[in-house]
C-alpha cells in the first residue's frame, strides 16, 4: 500500500484494517494526543481516528499546533 504522508510517498505493508489510530502508532508519530490529521484534504475529528480506514492512494497530513513557529 502506498500513501502520501506530509508530502512524501510512503510504502506500507498491505493491511485492510489499518485505521488512522493504528497508522499513528505504526509511523511512531510524535505526541499523538496533540496531532491533527488531514485525510485527502479534510480535517478528521479526533473521535473518528479509530474508525477511519487508510486506503492506498490516500494523502495524509499531520499537523501540530504545539512547538513550531508560525
Partner 1 sequence: MANHFRFSTLLVHGGLEPGPAGATTVPIVQSSSFAYDTAEGLEDVFRGRQMGQVYTRIGNPTTESLERRLALLDGGVAALATSSGMAAITTAVMTIVRAGDEILSSSSLFGGTFSLFRDTLGNFGITTRFVDPLDLEGVRNAINERTRLLFVESIGNPKLDVPDLPALAKIAHDAGLPFLVDATVTTPYLATGGELGADIIIHSTSKYLNGTGNSIGGVIIDRGVFDWNSPLFPHFQPFYKKYRSFAFSARARKLIHKDVGGCPAPLNSFLMTEGIQTLALRMERHCSNALALARFLKSHPKVSWVKYPGLEDSPDHEVAKRLYGGRYGGLITFGTGDKPSAFRIINSLKLARNLANIGDAKTLVIHPASTICCDYSTEEKALMGVTEDLIRISVGIEDPQDIIDDFKQALE
**Contact pick of 2, 15, 34, 50 for partner 1 (by CB under 8 A):** 34
Residue from 40, 45, 51, 57 touching partner 1 (CB under 8 A): that is 45
41 binds partner 1, rule: CB under 8 A: no
Least CB distance to partner 1 at residue 40 (A)? 15
Question: In this complex, which beta carbon is closest to partner 1, that of residue 16 or of residue 66?
Answer: 66
Burial 30-44 (b: 16+ CB within 10 A, else e): eebeebebebeeeeb
Amino acid at each position: 500500500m502506498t500513501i502520501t504522508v506530509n508530502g512524501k510517498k510512503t510504502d506500507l505493508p498491505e493491511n485492510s484494517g489499518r485505521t488512522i489510530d493504528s497508522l499513528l502508532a505504526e509511523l511512531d508519530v510524535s505526541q499523538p494526543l496533540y496531532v491533527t490529521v488531514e485525510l485527502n484534504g479534510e480535517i478528521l475529528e479526533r473521535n473518528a481516528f479509530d474508525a477511519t480506514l487508510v486506503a492506498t492512494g490516500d494523502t495524509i497530513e499531520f499537523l501540530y499546533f504545539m512547538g513550531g513557529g508560525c
